Copies of this chain bind each other. A is one copy, B any other.
Amino acid sequence: MAHYRLTATEFLSSGVKVEDYVCSLLDRVAARDADVQAWAHLDRECAISQARLLDTIPLREREHLKLFGVPVGVKDIMYTKDMPTQHNSPIYENDAPAVDSALVMLLRNAGALIFGKTTTTEFASVTTGTKTRNPHDSSRTPGGSSSGSGAAVGDLQVPVALGTQTLGSIIRPASFNGIFGFKPTWGAISREGVKICSLNLDTMGFFARSIADLELLADAVQLEDDEKQTVRFKIEGAKFAVCKTHVWSQAGPGTTNAVELAIKLLQEHGASVEELELSEEFTNVTKYSLQAFESDGKTTFTNEYIRAKDKLDPVLVKFVENSSKISHRDHLAALDGLAQLRPKIDIIAGRYDAILTPSTVDEAPTGLSNTGNSAFCGMWTALHVPVVNIPGFVGEHGMPIGLSLVAPRYHDRRLLRVAAAVAPVFEGGGWKLGL
């Protein structure tokens, strides 16, 4: 097997030299970049020199480095001390803050190799597409805003990558690219050194091609539940809820079929799946999350608006000019309303091993101009609960479709345990990951 096909976990036990792994990935990028274009910045020499340096570390000193030599793609709204950070904005063209974001520092400290910067929609705040294409069909969007991270991991150009989610920016591209995406509990990973979109919604997270890799990353950032997860989770006898949500009418045939098939597969493996209809008040989450997004964005982008309004995406100009006429009163009602619903969803989600819910309205749409609809993701982001996208299903055009598992806040590790058991079950949906 070519080295580039290895997941991070496989690489760590493979005995392959870091340089060999990195060179294989760089060759994969070289072969595929014209089609996929996942990178905002990638310096071959920088990656190789990091690899060589890591290869000189004595074996006994590698033991505590949980991510020794693991190449990581970094979304280009996160500061990296040795690479530019440009936010896909002409205002920050060639900008290179000489500092690492906290998450990048954490990963470097665990022995990770910062491979390159992945594309993002402008400031990770709009759905205007990037240059990046879906690796499984270059006429389709890879999703966004973490477009490059999703596409690079989906195309085997890097085993893991970092993302952020304000509405649907991790789960959506994970679904569209046929890989795992993990949005932990809001606030569980430091956002220091990352461009802000919404103070109340932005969440750090990961892309990978196995749950084991997500566990590795979770270990590296010391993500812990109150209860340590020691027992392996079994599907047999497990209790799931399927929550179609108040936006179910937006689901296309691919998602509708995926949900039905997922229920069938779980039941066939001995799990119970009951339908969960959330109370009426949860329908407000969509409105609240969009108001929080816009109003928070007004504060965030006032800076760029004043400096270079003409270089700012029209959507963000509208945020600053408050075209939607959202008053502070509305904004606070949205924040307070969301805050009231969070403990309620914790209680509801706590009754199940996980809530199963759509990740996206359907497979990735054609065209690159828009990164897709976030209707199914935004509500969980705003509720601050952890979400993982599990690939497995296939849409009408052969594109991947994933489904989300949701748990109560700060049950991140429990969610990954459940996901590790669900993932092989969902392979019955027909999507072949990493081929």
Interface residues of A (CB under 8 A from B): 79, 95-99, 102, 105-106, 109, 187-192, 195-196, 199-200, 221-222, 225-226, 296, 299-300, 302-303, 306-307, 327-329, 331-332, 335-336, 339-340, 342-343, 346, 409-410
Contact = CB atoms under 8 A, between A and B. Distances in A.
Contacts of A95: 99
A96 B97 contact: no
Contact of A196 (B190, B221, B222, B300): B190
Contacts of A296: 187
A96 B188 CA distance: 27
Contacts of A339: 335-336, 339-340, 342
Contacts of A221: 302
B299 A188 contact: yes
A409 B332 contact: yes
6 tightest Cβ-Cβ pairs between the two chains A and B: A339-B339, A97-B99, A328-B410, A98-B98, A102-B303, A192-B196
Contacts of A343: 332, 336
7 contacts: A97-B97, A102-B303, A106-B302, A106-B306, A190-B299, A332-B409, A336-B343
A95 B79 CA distance: 14
Contact of A346 (B106, B109, B332): B332
Contacts of A99: 79, 95, 97-99
Given A97-B97, A332-B409, A339-B339, 5 more contacts: A96-B98, A97-B98, A192-B195, A222-B306, A226-B327
A335 B383 CA distance: 13
